[in-house]
Amino acid sequence: MEIINRRKRMMSLARKLRREENRTIGLVATMGALHEGHLSLIHEARAICDVVVVSIFVNPAQFGPNEDFESYPRDLTADAATLAEYNVDYVFAPTVEEIYPRGFSTYVLVEGLSDALEGASRPGHFRGVATVVAILLNAVRPNFAFFGQKDAQQSIIIKQMVRDLAFDTEIVVLPIVREQSGLAMSSRNAYLDAEQRQAATVLNRALTQARSAYDEGEHNSGRLIDLVRSSIEAQPLARVDYVSINDAATLKKLDKLDERPALLSLAVFFGKTRLIDNIVLGAAKKEDAAGANA
Ligand code: AMP
């Protein structure tokens, strides 16, 4: 396994692998502090690609001024050891200056989709995400790039960007990996103390209750949202940012659920830590698994 810090080195290597050696490249883009959610993406990349590249980059452009860019967990040594065990070929771990050199001034904005949900709570977040993913796709030239349903809106936005800007990459979205307790794996779970971690299991329980109500015929968004909210609000350590039901493809708010898949998503604070989670309601069996344990 080679650790690459330079964008130029990454680009020349990718050119050689893809053009000269005709090997398929899979990219898993991460911010490090790796957990089993990331590893599930790497596992799939390993299964379908000849060469697996994992990027580790805590992207300043996607953090707001009062967010956790400085304190975000970073441990490249531990991450590299994990990735070597998983037979990853290359780790692309550039510095901030390498990605955003002096004079950098071009940003990617996926209009519309970036305004809802996470975008409403975190202005500018998806501009930062789309920009860095565009740079990573250009540097790594992957045939496939793997993203998690955990960040459902991000996956939708990346797919739209790839379509609109004609990137030669297929986006693969994989199910949410959860702890035994139901808590969705996240690097930010490291911020939680024991009590908050226990309290945060309410999120998956609330989503699961909504799925049961939906399966029993409750297709009114307002009532499903109320159900989720009231479960979460019964937990004193939780402070709801939003609970929302949106079309799973267009992210338009839905009042009533019909046969189209609907994304039930939420963001909730436990102390200063903001966690997100979601399930898809009304999806065909395969997509439905995106919200289930994996
Ligand atoms: P991050 O390092 O948080 O930026 O995440 C990198 C990638 O891993 C993104 O595509 C995430 O959606 C995905 N990911 C993060 N947590 C999970 C999880 N619990 N299950 C599946 N994928 C995840």
CA distance 133 to 89: 20
Is residue 185 within 6 Å of ligand 1 at its C-beta? yes
| Closest protein CA for atom 5 of ligand 1 | 30
Catalytic residue among 38, 43, 125, 219: 38
User: 267 near 206, Cβ under 8 Å?
Assistant: no
Backbone angles phi, psi at 99, to 5 degrees: -85, -40
User: 192 near 270, Cβ under 8 Å?
Assistant: yes
Average confidence (pLDDT) over 197-217: 98
CA distance 145 to 55: 11
User: In ligand 1, which atom is closest to the CA atom of 147?
Assistant: 10
Is residue 177 within 6 Å of ligand 1 at its C-beta? yes
Residue corresponding to tokens 């436990």? 270
Kindly report the number of other CB atoms within 10 A of residue 267's CB atom: 20
Is residue 131 within 6 Å of ligand 1 at its C-beta? no
pLDDT at 112: 96
Is residue 276 within 6 Å of ligand 1 at its C-beta? no
Encode 268-280: b = buried (16+ Cβ within 10 Å), e = exposed.
bebeebbbbbbbb
222: which residues sit within 8 A by CB, 6+ positions away? Answer: 255
Is residue 125 within 6 Å of ligand 1 at its C-beta? no
Distance 17 CA to ligand 1 centre (A): 26
| Closest protein CA for atom 6 of ligand 1 | 30
Confidence of residue 291 (pLDDT cuts 50, 70, 90): very low
Confidence of residue 288 (pLDDT cuts 50, 70, 90): very low
Q: How would you classify residue 182: left for phi > 0, otherwise alpha for psi between -120 and 50, otherwise beta?
A: left
Average confidence (pLDDT) over 245-271: 96
Percent with pLDDT over 90 in the chain = 94
Single-letter residue type at 137:
L
Confidence of residue 254 (pLDDT cuts 50, 70, 90): very high
CA distance 28 to 26: 7
Tokens of 80: 């590299």
User: In ligand 1, which atom is closest to the CA atom of 178?
Assistant: 19
Distance 11 CA to ligand 1 centre (A): 24
Is residue 148 within 6 Å of ligand 1 at its C-beta? yes
CA distance 254 to 240: 20
pLDDT surpassing 50 at residue 290? no
Strand partners, 256: 220
Among candidates 118, 124, 277, which has minimal Cα distance to 188? 277
Taking only the tens place, the pLDDT of each residue in 104-149 is 999 999 999 999 999 999 999 999 999 999 999 999 999 999 999 9
172: which residues sit within 8 A by CB, 6+ positions away? Answer: 44, 144, 145, 146, 147
Element of type H or E holding 100:
none
Asked whether the whole model's pTM tops 0.85, one would answer: yes
Residue with the larger pLDDT of the pair 259 and 147: 147
User: 270 near 189, Cβ under 8 Å?
Assistant: no
| Closest protein CA for atom 22 of ligand 1 | 148
Is residue 31 within 6 Å of ligand 1 at its C-beta? yes
- Among 75, 91, 147, which residue has the most ligand 1 atoms within 8 Å of its CB, making it the best to mutate? 147
Average confidence (pLDDT) over 167-192: 98
Among candidates 203, 186, 176, which has minimal Cα distance to 289? 176
| Closest protein CA for atom 14 of ligand 1 | 148
- Among 27, 30, 155, which residue has the most ligand 1 atoms within 8 Å of its CB, making it the best to mutate? 30
Distance 34 CA to ligand 1 centre (A): 9
Output the CA angle 58-63-66, nearest 5 degrees. 130
Strand partners, 274: 269
Is residue 204 within 6 Å of ligand 1 at its C-beta? no
pLDDT at 283: 73
pLDDT surpassing 80 at residue 292? no
Across 89-184, where does the E strand assignment appear?
90-92, 144-148, 170-174
Q: Is 38 a catalytic residue?
A: yes
pLDDT at 284: 63
Output the CA angle 273-274-279, nearest 5 degrees. 140
Among candidates 217, 219, 203, which has minimal Cα distance to 291? 203
Query: DSSP characters for 255-277?
Result: SB--SS-EEEEEEEEETTEEEEE
Is residue 290 within 6 Å of ligand 1 at its C-beta? no
